[in-house]
Amino acid sequence: MNKTIISFVTSIVLSVSFSAFSKTKVTWSMESNADRDPIFLEKLQNAYNSAQDNYELEIQFEPNETRIESLRTSMLAGMGPDIVETPGPSYVKEYQEAGMLENLDSYAAEFGWKDKLIPWAYSSGVFEGSLYAIPKTHESMVMLYNKTLFEENGWTVPTTREELEDVAAKIKAKGMDVYTYGSSGWQPTHEHLVGIYLNNYAGPEAVYEAITGEREWTDPVFIEALELLKKHMVNEGWWSGSLENYYAIGWDDFHAQFATRGAAMMTIGTWTFQATSLGIGASDDEWGWAPLPSLSSNSTGPNFMIAIGTTMSVNAAAKNKDGAIDVLNWIMSNKDVVIDIASDFEFGEFVVPLLLDESDIPSSISPQVTSYLNEYARITGEGNYGYCTWTFWPAEPGVHIWKDMEVVWAGDISVEDFMTDHQKMWDKARKKNETLPVPLRD
């Protein structure tokens, strides 16, 4: 009897040990964020590890400030994590050109990834005809406003430039800033505003033509767009009261300003939803969102700028390539996992661009976010979408558009000269084959 028990226990211990030790490790270097990391550990890493017996996913968190550089160094050394996370397509392009990423075409065909993802998002990872990256999150720019404040004052949410300038004057008359926003801690914030004005003044069609080389960036319509931005930013101080304040204000500051009625509106990306819900959501005021107003007759009706926040690829030198593919496939095959994690972030992060139905959106998220998701799907589905600079601009013009915009705002160069320089950079990028994938426009 004793022998039977001993052999039974031994066999269980051995089988458990075997399954534990037989799992091969899959590594993923992920951008760290104190609020998000525990959720990714529990609902992604641990959930994946419990769901199968072949691989052990290990997520290594590191702040992006250092992670991007350490990733590049390790990749150059032929090392690096199995799953390569980058801040966007311009980084993917560099790695892909260097032959450091695995071609995912055969896996995409085997597992039917193309049918699971939103078409434009899938094509954002296609370089030189092959798939190299899957978006980890996609996003857009919106206008947030203090709904309670608007109702109290009888203000209308603007949809056109005239309405916007009218409500801006009323907001300023009340002693508040029109928008709260700032670039302290993240200088590329300027590109959010540049993108808004290019897409909502010149119109998405014109931006598409410029990105694809059918139109020059020196076209008067783009110059007018940036002149208008300069007027609103510098002359009228719409963002945080003045250009200097806009430069001095960071993430926590502008959320606090929005929550305490320091400003009536905010131009920001959808990654803010969680912070907004926690910020103004904690006050007595209710917040609302709206598509960014059309700023000229070139931009008819609401549109949403499309963007990829982060991408996932497989390291060509991965120690566990099969494991990395399995993790990506598991994510794309488990809509519930993605929705669950994205819901914890109010659909501001880990919004893997899977094709979702209205019924997929959980009731646990804010009604504002629910309405945004439905509107975003409807409007972009109708083909009304624009282009965010950090997803569709090659590296050098992508930096120029925000870094040198300060020179325009300072009055050191004219918008015309700025756009002439910008066109030269695009020409150079085109010559060096550095342009990024752009989904075909209907």
Partner 1 sequence: MNFLSNKSYIAWYFVIPVVFIHLFVIGIPSILSLALCLTDWSGLGKINYVGFENFIELFDDRYFKKAIFHNILWTIIFLTVPVCIALMCAYLLTGIKRGQMFYRLAFFFPYMLASVVNCQIWKYLFHPIHGLGGFFESIGIEALASSPFTTKDTSLYAAAFVDGWHFWGFLVVIYLTGMYQVDNHLYEAADIEGASKFQKFRYITLPMIRPIFIFSLMIIIIWSVPVFDYVYILTGGGPAYSSEVVANYLYTHAFVRFNVGYASAVGTLMFFYVIFIVGIFGLLRRLGWEI
* Site residues for partner 1 per CB under 8 A: 68-69, 72, 75-76, 90, 94-95, 97-100, 184, 187, 240-245, 247-249, 253, 257, 262, 395-396, 399, 403, 406-407, 409-410, 412
The alpha-helical segments, DSSP class H, found in 184-312 are 190-197, 204-211, 220-230, 243-248, 251-259, 273-279
Nearest distance, CB of residue 188 and partner 1, angstroms: 9
Name residue 177's beta-bridge partners: 263
Residue pair 202/300 in contact (Cβ under 8 Å)? The answer is no
Residue pair 409/243 in contact (Cβ under 8 Å)? The answer is yes
Output the CA–CA distances (angstroms, integers) from residue 131 to 103, 113, 433, in the order listed: 6, 10, 17
Q: What angle do CA 136, 332, 77 make, to 5 degrees?
A: 50
Provide Rg for the chain, Cα atoms.
24
Identify which of residues 13 and 410 has a Cβ nearer to partner 1 in the complex: 410
Identify which of residues 174 and 432 has a Cβ nearer to partner 1 in the complex: 432
Residue pair 279/259 in contact (Cβ under 8 Å)? The answer is yes
Nearest distance, CB of residue 99 and partner 1, angstroms: 7
Identify which of residues 68 and 157 has a Cβ nearer to partner 1 in the complex: 68
Strands 263-269 and 177-179: parallel
Nearest distance, CB of residue 307 and partner 1, angstroms: 18
Give the span between the Cα atoms of 92 and 84, in whole angstroms. 9
Nearest distance, CB of residue 51 and partner 1, angstroms: 34
Nearest distance, CB of residue 164 and partner 1, angstroms: 24
Identify which of residues 356 and 395 has a Cβ nearer to partner 1 in the complex: 395
Identify which of residues 91 and 350 has a Cβ nearer to partner 1 in the complex: 91
Give the span between the Cα atoms of 430 and 333, in whole angstroms. 36
Identify which of residues 41 and 395 has a Cβ nearer to partner 1 in the complex: 395
Nearest distance, CB of residue 213 and partner 1, angstroms: 21
Tell me if residue 267 falls in helix, strand or coil. strand
Nearest in space to 270 (alpha carbons), one of 253, 291, 285, 249: 291
DSSP letter string, 338-383: HHHHHHHTTTSS----B---GGGS-TTS-HHHHHHHHHHHHHHHTT
Identify which of residues 84 and 324 has a Cβ nearer to partner 1 in the complex: 84
Tokens of 330: 């598991």
Residue pair 311/86 in contact (Cβ under 8 Å)? The answer is yes
Nearest distance, CB of residue 120 and partner 1, angstroms: 24
Give the span between the Cα atoms of 71 and 30, in whole angstroms. 10
Between helix 89-97 and helix 395-403 the angle, nearest 10°, is 150
Nearest distance, CB of residue 355 and partner 1, angstroms: 33
Nearest distance, CB of residue 217 and partner 1, angstroms: 18
Identify which of residues 45 and 245 has a Cβ nearer to partner 1 in the complex: 245
Identify which of residues 394 and 439 has a Cβ nearer to partner 1 in the complex: 394
- Say which DSSP state 383 is in: T
Identify which of residues 109 and 407 has a Cβ nearer to partner 1 in the complex: 407
Nearest distance, CB of residue 184 and partner 1, angstroms: 8
Residue pair 324/404 in contact (Cβ under 8 Å)? The answer is no
